[in-house]
Amino acid sequence: MTRLMGLKRKCPKGSLAGKKGIMAEGKAVTAGNVKTTSRWTTKQICFMALFMGINIAFSSVGIPVPGGHVYLCDAVICTAALLLDPVSAMIVGGVGAFLGDAIFYPAPMWVSLVTHGLQAFAVSYIARNTLKKHPVAAASLGVFVGGIIMNVGYFLGKTFIYGTLAAAIIKIPFEILQAVIGMVVSVLLVYRFGLKKIFDRFNFTGIRY
């Protein structure tokens, strides 16, 4: 307490430190209270929870197609990744897909956690850090790389789960279709239908990379 009072007396009366306190050891001291900052704000956590809930829903319900099912979770994951920072996107993609599988079809849930988590991180990172003068091209590149990660991850994961290479090969056409739908839908939603402009009104910045 004595140390803090001594530091406060050294601050000019009209300075920001004199009005609102001092900065000590990375913490903002204000009127005797220590105010710390967190990596995610309430707004950011709400957006993550929203996208994660949608991801869980779309990971749980598949569209029947000849020979199997196609899930629309990739569209949700890629859309979230184009709007969120890489870490937030990774949590939404990986944990959301994991919970969706755990509820209805738990066999590949660990594959979904790793694969969709890496996919979302890659999409977000590439979209934010490459071709900055051409955001749509950067987003397209990001979702394309994310689609490759998703297909390779599920191919390797299902080879291990089913124990046979043939069982994993059978699933490839459905995984490719799912990835392509996710690429096209996400880029259209974010840039063609103005979702990014709406999202930017909330001044969401996330964690910088």
Q: What is the dihedral of CA 80, 85, 88, 94, to 10 degrees?
A: 60
- 162 or 206: which leads in pLDDT: 162
Question: Token pair for residue 182?
Answer: 């996710």
What pLDDT is recorded for position 207? 52
Run of H or E including 95: helix 86-104
CA distance 163 to 157: 10
How many helices and strands, by DSSP H and E, does the chain display? Answer: 9, 5
Is residue 178's pLDDT more than 50?
Answer: yes
Strands 22-24 and 27-30: antiparallel
72 phi/psi in degrees, rounded to 5: -95, 15
Domain residue limits, the chain: 2-35, 42-200
User: Most confidently modeled of 164-173, 180-189, 198-207?
Assistant: 180-189
Is residue 90's pLDDT more than 60?
Answer: yes
pLDDT digits (tens, 9 = 90+) for 123-168: 999 999 999 899 999 999 999 999 999 999 999 998 888 778 887 8
Q: Say if residues 165 and 159 touch (Cβ distance below 8 Å).
A: yes
pLDDT band at 206 (very low <50, low <70, confident <90, very high): low
What pLDDT is recorded for position 23? 37
Percent of the chain at pLDDT exceeding 70? 77
What pLDDT is recorded for position 120? 97
pTM score of the predicted model: 0.76
* DSSP assigned state of 191: I
Neighbours of 42 (CB within 10 A): 8
pLDDT digits (tens, 9 = 90+) for 6-57: 444 444 444 444 444 433 333 333 333 333 344 677 888 888 999 999 999 8
Neighbours of 188 (CB within 10 A): 13
Neighbours of 186 (CB within 10 A): 27
- 204 or 68: which leads in pLDDT: 68
* CATH number listed for the domain at residues 42-200: 1.10.1760.20
* DSSP assigned state of 15: S
pLDDT band at 204 (very low <50, low <70, confident <90, very high): low
Q: Say if residues 80 and 100 touch (Cβ distance below 8 Å).
A: no
What average pLDDT does this structure show over 94-111?
89
